Structure 1
Amino acid sequence: MQPLAYRMRPTKLEEVVGQKHLVAPGQIIHRMVEAKMLSSMILYGPPGIGKTSIASAIAGSTRYAFRMLNAATDTKKDLQIVAEEAKMSGTVILLLDEIHRLDKTKQDFLLPHLENGRIIMIGATTENPYISINPAIRSRTQIFELKPLAQTDILEAIERALADSEKGLGNYPVQLDEAAKIHLARSTNGDLRSVLNGLELAVKSTPIDEQTGKIELSIDIIESCIQKKALTHDKDGDAHYDVISALQKSIRGSDVDAALHYLARLIEAGDLPIICRRLMVIGYEDVGLANPQAAARTVSAIQAAEKLGFPEARIPLANAVIDLCLSPKSNSAISAIDAALADVRAGKSGEVPDHLRDSHYQGAKKLNRGVDYLYPHAYPNAWVDQQYLPDKLKNQHYYQPKVTGKYEHALATRYQQIQEWKKQKKR
Structure 2
Amino acid sequence: MQNMPLAERLRPKTLEEYIGQEHILGPGKPLRKALEANLVPSMILWGPPGVGKTTLSLMLAEITKRQFYALSAISSGVKDLREVLSKPSGLFPPILFIDEIHRFNKSQQDTLLAAVERGQVTLIGATTENPSFEVNSALLSRCQVYILEAFGSKELDQLLDRAITQDEQLQKKKFKIVSKKSLFRISGGDGRKLLNLLEMVVTAQFGAEEIIIDDEKVEEVVQKNLARYDKSGEQHYDIISAFIKSMRGSDPNAALYWLARMLVAGEDPNFIARRMLILASEDIGNANPTAMIMANSCMEAMKKIGYPEGRIILSQTVVYLATSPKSNASYMAIDKAIALAEKTSHLPVPLDLRNAPTKLMKEVGYGKDYKYSHSYEGNFAQQNFMPDELKGEKLYEPGANAKEMEIKKKLQAWWADWYKYE
How does the TM-score come out when normalised to structure 1? 0.56
SS in 2 for 1:164: helix
Could you give the per-residue CA deviations for residues 120-171 of structure 1, whole angstroms, max 9, x where no partner exists?
x9996955444x44xxx95xx799897xx9xxx64xx253431236997685
Aligned partner of 1:287: which letter? I
The equivalent residue for 1:196 is 191
The equivalent residue for 1:259 is 255
CA contact (8 A) 2:228 2:235 kept: no
Aligned partner of 1:229: which letter? A
The equivalent residue for 1:332 is 329
CA contact (8 A) 1:183 1:219 kept: no
**Alpha-carbon separation, structure 2, partners of 1:243 and 1:286:** 18
**Alpha-carbon separation, structure 2, partners of 1:108 and 1:238:** 43
Residue 103 (structure 1) shift? 6.3
The equivalent residue for 2:241 is 245
What is the aligned-residue RMSD (CA, Å)? 5.7
Aligned partner of 1:163: which letter? D
| Partner residue of 1:163 out of 145, 157, 170 | 157
Compared CA separation, residues 404 and 52, structure 1 to 2 (3 A):
same
Aligned partner of 2:265: which letter? A
The equivalent residue for 1:86 is none
Residue 336 (structure 1) shift? 0.9
SS in 1 for 2:202: coil
Aligned partner of 2:416: which letter? E
CA contact (8 A) 2:287 2:402 kept: yes
Within a 5 Å distance, the mapping from 1:14-413 to structure 2 comes to: 81=92, 101=111, 107=117, 126=131, 128-130=135-137, 132-133=138-139, 154=150, 157-164=151-158, 178=182, 185=188, 195-203=190-198, 207=202, 209=205, 210=208, 211-214=210-213, 217-218=218-219, 229-231=227-229, 241-273=237-269, 275-304=272-301, 307-310=305-308, 313-344=310-341, 346-353=342-349, 354-356=351-353, 365=361, 371-372=367-368, 374-406=371-403, 408-413=404-409
Could you give the per-residue CA deviations for residues 373-395 of structure 1, whole angstroms, max 9, x where no partner exists?
55434444333344433445343
Residue 296 (structure 1) shift? 2.6
Residue 5 (structure 1) shift? 8.8
Aligned partner of 2:334: which letter? I
Could you give the per-residue CA deviations for residues 345-400 of structure 1, whole angstroms, max 9, x where no partner exists?
x533234515545666x798389695435543444433334443344534322111
Unaligned 5+ segments in structure 2 are 1-7, 31-40, 70-80, 102-108
CA contact (8 A) 1:279 1:298 kept: yes
CA contact (8 A) 1:401 1:411 kept: yes
Could you give the per-residue CA deviations for residues 146-205 of structure 1, whole angstroms, max 9, x where no partner exists?
7xx9xxx64xx2534312369976859776674x766654xxxxxx8xx43343444456
**Alpha-carbon separation, structure 2, partners of 1:104 and 1:222:** 48
Compared CA separation, residues 229 and 288, structure 1 to 2 (3 A):
farther
**Alpha-carbon separation, structure 2, partners of 1:251 and 1:122:** 40
Compared CA separation, residues 240 and 220, structure 1 to 2 (3 A):
farther
CA contact (8 A) 2:301 2:310 kept: yes
**Alpha-carbon separation, structure 2, partners of 1:249 and 1:293:** 20
Compared CA separation, residues 202 and 395, structure 1 to 2 (3 A):
same
The equivalent residue for 1:87 is none
Unaligned 5+ segments in structure 1 are 17-28, 30-39, 60-64, 83-93, 111-120, 186-191
**Alpha-carbon separation, structure 1, partners of 2:187 and 2:371:** 59
**Alpha-carbon separation, structure 2, partners of 1:10 and 1:308:** 33
Aligned pair count reads: 348
CA contact (8 A) 1:294 1:324 kept: yes
Could you give the per-residue CA deviations for residues 88-143 of structure 1, whole angstroms, max 9, x where no partner exists?
xxxxxx99988965666974779xxxxxxxxxx9996955444x44xxx95xx799
Aligned partner of 2:228: which letter? A
Residue 268 (structure 1) shift? 4.1
**Alpha-carbon separation, structure 2, partners of 1:380 and 1:79:** 74
Larger Rg: 2
Could you give the per-residue CA deviations for residues 274-311 of structure 1, whole angstroms, max 9, x where no partner exists?
6434433332222221112233323434555563424x
**Alpha-carbon separation, structure 2, partners of 1:387 and 1:79:** 70
Aligned partner of 1:13: which letter? H
Compared CA separation, residues 402 and 309, structure 1 to 2 (3 A):
same
How does the TM-score come out when normalised to structure 2? 0.57
SS in 1 for 2:344: coil
**Alpha-carbon separation, structure 2, partners of 1:66 and 1:368:** 72
Compared CA separation, residues 241 and 278, structure 1 to 2 (3 A):
same
**Alpha-carbon separation, structure 1, partners of 2:373 and 2:51:** 49
Compared CA separation, residues 244 and 43, structure 1 to 2 (3 A):
closer
Compared CA separation, residues 297 and 13, structure 1 to 2 (3 A):
same
CA contact (8 A) 1:69 1:95 kept: yes
**Alpha-carbon separation, structure 2, partners of 1:5 and 1:335:** 52
**Alpha-carbon separation, structure 2, partners of 1:340 and 1:182:** 43
